[in-house]
Amino acid sequence: MSAFTNVLRAEPEHTQDVMRLLVNTAEWLLSKGSSQWNSLLRGEDSHNTPEAINRGEVYLFKEESKTAGMVMLLANPSPWDLELWEDRANDGAAVYVHRLAVNRKFSGKGVGNRMMKWVEQQTPELSRTVIRLDCIASNEVLNRFYSKLGYEHVGQASNENGLFSKYEKTLPAMRD
């Protein structure tokens, strides 16, 4: 499990490629029977990815010159997070992970695992000690993935998009 050849902050000129990766992932999820991210197939983006790119919150993971994956890291909770995490979202302790997507050409190679390890390394850089994320509750594979990475299942929440599992990981204290 080697490191990525490059991790970079997505720039506005990457927006089309990022959106293509997200739509391709949504199509793949649909082919597997999951409704997760179906709104992307209708042209709706609840996380406003282009604006997140403009704010510097989207990261691309490269293997040589090819995009292996992407993730969105929010140091401040989005309206989505405020709805799902309620009062906990206002504690100022967490970074919120959204839109973790792996290019299907890189699936089965530990890319998602390496991306999440990178997130854990970056979280202290954002002056946060907790990582929070959610995924659709019916996606057993994704729920197992986060549990195996040491994320604690801290409950479920629902909104008009369905029922979601909430996961959290507190990072060890940094030493000087």
Q: Please, what are the domains in the chain?
A: 6-170 (3.40.630.30)
Give the three-state DSSP class for 28.
Answer: helix
Q: Does residue 1 register a pLDDT over 50? A: no
> What ranges make up the beta strands (E) of the chain?
6-9, 58-63, 66-74, 94-102, 130-136, 152-159, 162-170
**Are 151 and 166 contacting, i.e. CB atoms less than 8 angstroms apart?**
no
Instruction: Give the model's pLDDT for residue 50.
Output: 96
> How high is the mean pLDDT of the chain?
91
**Are 131 and 94 contacting, i.e. CB atoms less than 8 angstroms apart?**
yes
Cα gap 72→94, rounded to integer Å: 14
Q: Among 50-54, 152-156, 171-175, whose mean pLDDT is lowest? A: 171-175
- Whole-model pTM: value is 0.91
